[in-house]
Structure 1
Amino acid sequence: MASAQFSAPQSIGLRSRIRERNPRSKMIRALGPSSSNVVCNCLRLQSNDKSKIHSVNVVKHCRRSTNCMMLFSSPVTTCRKRFFPMVYNQYVSDSGMDSSNVEERFTAKKGHILSTLRESIFELVGNSSSQSHSQSVESELIILTLPALAGQAIEPLTQLMETAYIGRLGPVELASAGVSTSIFNIISKLFNIPLLSVATSFVAEDISKNTLKESSSGFQEQESGGKPLGELEERKQLPSISTALLLAVAIGIFEALALYFGSGLFLNLMGLSPASPMRMPAERFLSLRALGAPAVVLSLALQGVFRGFKDTTTPALCLGGGNLLAVFLFPILMYNCRLGVTGAAIATVASQYIVTILMIWSLNKRAVLLPPKMKNLQFGVYIKSGGFLLGRTLAVLMTMTLGTSMAVRQGPLAMAAHQICLQVWLAVSLLTDALAASGQALIASSFSKGDYWKVKEIVHFVLKMGVFTGISLALILGASFGSLATLFTKDTEVLGIVRSGVLFVSASQPFNALAFIFDGLHYGVSDFSYAAQSMIVVGVISSAVLLYAPSMFGLYGVWLGLTLFMSLRMLAGFIRLASKNGPWWFLQKDFHKTEVAG
Structure 2
Amino acid sequence: MGGGAAELPRVRDDRPRRSPGRSGGQGGAVAEGVQATWLAICLGLGVLLLFQLFAGPLTRILAGGTGAVAESGEQWLRVASLGLPLLLISLAGNGWLRGVQDLRRPVRYVLAGSLLSLVLCPLLVHPAGMGLVGSAVANVAGQAVTAALFVRALVREGGGWRPRPTALGRQLLIGRDLLLRAVVLQLSFLVAAGVAARSGTAGLGAHQIALQLFFFLALVLDAYAIAAQTLVGHALGAQRPGEARATAARVVRWGIGTGLAIAAVLLATRDVLIPVFTDDPAVRAQAEVVWWFLAGMQPLAGAVFALDGVLMGAGDVGYLRTLTIGSAVLGFLPLSLLAGPLDWGLAGIWTGLSLFIGLRLVGVLLRVAGDRWLHAPATVGA
2:235 to 424, 433, 446: 446
Pick 1 or 2: higher relative contact order, CA cutoff 8 A, min separation 6.
2
- Aligned residue number for residue 151 of structure 2: 356
Q: Deviations over 1:81-102 (max 9, x none)?
A: xxxxxxxxxxxxxxxxxxxxxx
TM-score, length basis structure 2: 0.68
Q: How big is the shift at 1:234?
A: 8.7
Q: How big is the shift at 1:553?
A: 4.0
Q: Is the contact made by 1:579 and 1:585 (CA closer than 8 Å) also made in structure 2?
A: no
Q: Is the contact made by 2:228 and 2:310 (CA closer than 8 Å) also made in structure 1?
A: yes
- Aligned residue number for residue 133 of structure 2: none
2:369 to 565, 574, 578: 578
- Aligned residue number for residue 567 of structure 1: 358
- Aligned residue number for residue 380 of structure 2: none
Specify which structure has the higher proportion of helix. Answer: 1
- Aligned residue number for residue 216 of structure 2: 427
Q: How big is the shift at 1:568?
A: 0.9
2:248 to 443, 455, 459: 459
Q: How big is the shift at 1:296?
A: 7.5
Q: How big is the shift at 1:487?
A: 1.4
Look at both structures and tell me which one has the larger radius of gyration over its CA atoms: 1
Q: Is the contact made by 1:307 and 1:441 (CA closer than 8 Å) also made in structure 2?
A: no
Q: How big is the shift at 1:472?
A: 0.5
Q: Is the contact made by 2:252 and 2:302 (CA closer than 8 Å) also made in structure 1?
A: no
Which segments of 5 or more consecutive residues in structure 2 lack a partner in the other structure?
61-70, 117-137, 377-382
SS of equivalent residue, structure 2 residue 373: coil
Q: Which amino acid aligns with 1:577?
A: V
The CA distance in 2 between the partners of 1:539 and 1:263, in whole Å, is 19
Shifted more, 484-493 versus 570-579: the winner is: 484-493
1:545 to 332, 335, 338: 335
SS of equivalent residue, structure 1 residue 197: coil
Q: Is the contact made by 1:473 and 1:509 (CA closer than 8 Å) also made in structure 2?
A: yes
SS of equivalent residue, structure 1 residue 490: coil
- Residue 264 of structure 2 is aligned to residue 475 of structure 1: yes
Q: How big is the shift at 1:557?
A: 2.2
* Closer, same or farther: CA 357–548 of 1 in aligned 2, 3 Å: closer
Shifted more, 409-418 versus 387-396: the winner is: 409-418
Q: How big is the shift at 1:504?
A: 1.1
Q: Is the contact made by 1:515 and 1:566 (CA closer than 8 Å) also made in structure 2?
A: yes
Q: Which amino acid aligns with 2:295?
A: S
- Residue 188 of structure 2 is aligned to residue 408 of structure 1: no
TM-score, length basis structure 1: 0.46
Q: How big is the shift at 1:286?
A: 9.8
Shifted more, 249-258 versus 416-425: the winner is: 249-258
Q: How big is the shift at 1:567?
A: 0.9
Q: Is the contact made by 2:286 and 2:346 (CA closer than 8 Å) also made in structure 1?
A: no
Question: What root-mean-square deviation, in Å, do the aligned CA atoms of Structure 1 and Structure 2 show?
Answer: 4.9
- Aligned residue number for residue 236 of structure 1: 24
* Closer, same or farther: CA 460–297 of 1 in aligned 2, 3 Å: same
Q: Which amino acid aligns with 2:151?
A: T
SS of equivalent residue, structure 1 residue 526: coil
The CA distance in 1 between the partners of 2:283 and 2:47, in whole Å, is 37
The CA distance in 2 between the partners of 1:564 and 1:428, in whole Å, is 18
2:8 to 197, 222, 226: 197
Q: How big is the shift at 1:525?
A: 1.0
Q: Which amino acid aligns with 2:23?
A: R
The CA distance in 2 between the partners of 1:548 and 1:567, in whole Å, is 19
- Aligned residue number for residue 487 of structure 1: 276
The CA distance in 2 between the partners of 1:426 and 1:454, in whole Å, is 30
1:391 to 148, 166, 180: 180
For these two proteins, the number of residue pairs brought into alignment is 341
The CA distance in 1 between the partners of 2:165 and 2:198, in whole Å, is 52
Q: Which amino acid aligns with 1:356?
A: V
2:347 to 545, 550, 556: 556
The CA distance in 2 between the partners of 1:523 and 1:573, in whole Å, is 11
Q: Is the contact made by 1:440 and 1:521 (CA closer than 8 Å) also made in structure 2?
A: yes
1:506 to 282, 295, 311: 295
Q: Is the contact made by 1:522 and 1:531 (CA closer than 8 Å) also made in structure 2?
A: yes
- Aligned residue number for residue 121 of structure 2: none
The CA distance in 2 between the partners of 1:422 and 1:350, in whole Å, is 18
